[in-house]
Amino acid sequence: MEQQKETPYRVGEWLPSDRLVLENWLKDLIVEVENTPKPMHPVILELKDLIESDPKLFMLFTLMFQQVPEKYKHNPAGGPQVRNYLQALQLINTVLTKAPEFNLSGLVGFPINAIFDYAMGTHAGFAAFLDAGLNKQLKKVLNAWGTFLKSADSVYVLNKNPRSGWFGEDARKQMPHFDEEFQCDPLAPYHGFVSWDDFFTRKFREGVRPVASPDDDAIIVNACESAPYRMSVNVHHKDTFWIKGQPYSLGHMLNHDSWTPIFEGGTIYQAFLSALSYHRWHSPVSGTIKKAYVIDGTYYSETPAEGYDPSGPNKSQGFITEVATRALIFIEADNPNIGLMCFMPVGMAEVSTCDITVYEGQHVKKGQEIGMFHFGGSTHCLIFQPKVKLDFDFHGQTPGLNSSNIPINSRIATVLK
C-alpha cells in the first residue's frame, strides 16, 4: 500500500508542526550560546577534529550549510539560521546538558535533528551523513547526551511547571490518564522517576495493554505502540531503496545476515512511534529467540528522492530501514505456520539506542517485553517468510504518515492456514 502523499503534521510529533515554533526555539538556543558560551565537551571536540582532519568531511560540512536553499537561510522568527558547522557544534554542545521540555505549541524532541534540519537535506548533507566514520563519532555524541538523560540532573523537566514541565498542566492534558496507565507514584517527587530516561522508558501498569488472544498462536500482536506506515509483499533481496517510493531492499535491511534468503519474497509491515507514546518493544508472537543483535548505521541520513524534507528523516522511513542504526531479533514462532520471523526496531536521529533485553535461546510469550528505545521511539518492522499468509488489521486506517497509534499487544494480523 502506498503511503499518503501529504503530511501536514510532523510525524510522531518529534518536531513541531508549526515551522515558526522550531525557528523560535533555534533562535533562543543561538542567543543562549552567544551569551553564555560553554567549554566544548570532549566528544564535540573529537567531532570537530574529525571534520577538520578529513578532507572529504571538511568539504561536505562546509558545503551543506552553503547549499541550504536561499529561502530557508533567513529565520522567519527573526535572527539567523545556523550558518556553518562550527556554530552547529556549539549549539549541540549546549544541548548535551539539556533535556527536552514539554511545549504545547511544538515539542522539540529531536534538538540535534533541528540544528541540522536544513543542512541534512542538501546534496552535501546527504553524502556526509552516510559516512561511516562520522556516524561512529555521532554515536559517541549521542551516547554522551544519553548519559546526561539517565542522570538525576535531567529530571528537572518533569516538574509541574504549567508550560514546560512534563507533569505540568499542558502536558497532563496530552496525557490525561498517565497515573492510571503507567507505573509511577503520583505522590513522590517527579512521580518517582529518577531521570528523563527513566520517565521516557516508563512501563504500563499491569492490564493496561492486554494481549490479544493470548492462547491463540494464529493472532500476531502489535510489537510497539505505533501507527501503521506501510505493508509490502514479495519483497526483493536487493532493490534501489533510495528512489521515490523507497522499496525495501531485504539484503541491506538485514545487513546480509545468513538467514536473509529465508525471507526473500516475503512480507514486511512497518509502523512508527510517537514522542508521547510507550517506547518498549513486545514480542509479536510466542516463540524462541534464535538470534538478537544491533547493527550500527546512520543517524541523520534521509533520501533525496523525497525532495526537501524539513522534518528530517520522517518521510524517509522506508529508506532508513536499510541504513540507520537498528536491531535484529529473529524469533522462531511456536506456530509452524509462521516459523522464523524477524522484529527489527530502527533508530531515527537522536532516538537510536536499541536496547535488546532478551537473549538467544530464551522462550518468550506473545506480548512479553523484548527491548526498548532509549529517549523515545522511532520506527520498526515485522518481517515474515513468503510462505506465511497474513490477514492484517490496521484498525480502520490506511497505512501512511497520517495514521494513528494502534495500542501495543493489539491484534495486528492473523495467520491463515
The C-alpha atoms of residue 251 and residue 370 are separated, in whole angstroms, by 24
Asked if the structure places residue 340 within a domain, the reply is yes
DSSP structural state of residue 44: H
Which residue from 281, 287, 268 is spatially nearest to 330, judged by alpha carbons?
Answer: 287
DSSP category for residue 190: G
Is residue 256 one of the residues assigned to a domain? yes
Residue 18 predicted with pLDDT over 90: no
pTM of the model: 0.88
* Any domain includes 76: no
CB-CB contact of 7 with 229 (8 Å): no
Q: Does 126 map to a domain?
A: no
| Contact predicate 313/296, CB 8 Å | no
* Range 116-145 average pLDDT: 91
Residue 350 to residue 52: CA distance in whole angstroms: 23
Smallest CA-to-CA distance from 10 within 19, 191, 1 is with 19
Residue 117 in domain: no
Mean pLDDT of 310-329: 78
Confidence of residue 121 (pLDDT cuts 50, 70, 90): confident
Nearest alpha-carbon partner for 353 in 372, 368, 329, 381: 372
- What's the structural domain count of the chain? 1
pLDDT tens, position by position, 342-369: 999 998 776 668 999 999 999 999 999 9
Report the alpha-carbon distance of residue 226 to residue 205 in Å, rounded: 18
Question: Which pLDDT belongs to residue 109?
Answer: 56
Tell me the three cell numbers of residue 103. 511545549
Of 64, 78, 69, the C-alpha closest to 31 is 78
pLDDT for 89-101, tens place per residue?
999 999 999 988 8
Q: Where are the alpha helices (DSSP H) in 36-84?
A: 42-53, 55-66
Label the pairing between strands 379-384 and 267-272.
antiparallel
Where helices occur in 175-302 by DSSP H, the ranges are 178-181, 196-200, 250-253, 260-263
Cα angle, residue 183 at apex, residues 173 and 284 outer, rounded to 5°:
100
For residue 54, the model assigns a pLDDT of 97
Please give the grid coordinates belonging to residue 77. 522568527
Show the domain range for 394: 219-416
pLDDT one-digit tens code per residue, 47-71: 999 999 999 999 999 999 998 876 5
Averaged pLDDT, 310-324: 72
Residue 7 pLDDT exceeds 60: no
Q: Which residue has the cell 505505533?
A: 226
Helix (H) / strand (E) element for 369: namely strand 369-374
Round to whole Å and give the CA distance between 110 and 132: 21
Task: Classify residue 26: in a domain, yes or no.
Answer: no
> In the 8-state DSSP scheme, what is residue 70?
G
The answer as to whether 237 is a domain residue is yes
- Characterise 36 by phi-psi region: left (phi > 0), alpha (psi -120 to 50), beta (else): beta
pLDDT value at position 2? 37
User: Which pLDDT tens digit goes with each residue over 209-228?
Assistant: 999 999 999 999 999 999 99
Which CATH number covers residue 351? 2.70.70.10
- What is the arithmetic mean of pLDDT over 277-303? 92
Residues near 189 by Cβ (< 8 Å), separated by ≥ 6? none
Q: What does the mean pLDDT of the chain come to?
A: 86
241 in any annotated domain: yes
- How far apart are alpha carbons 417 and 218 in whole angstroms? 9
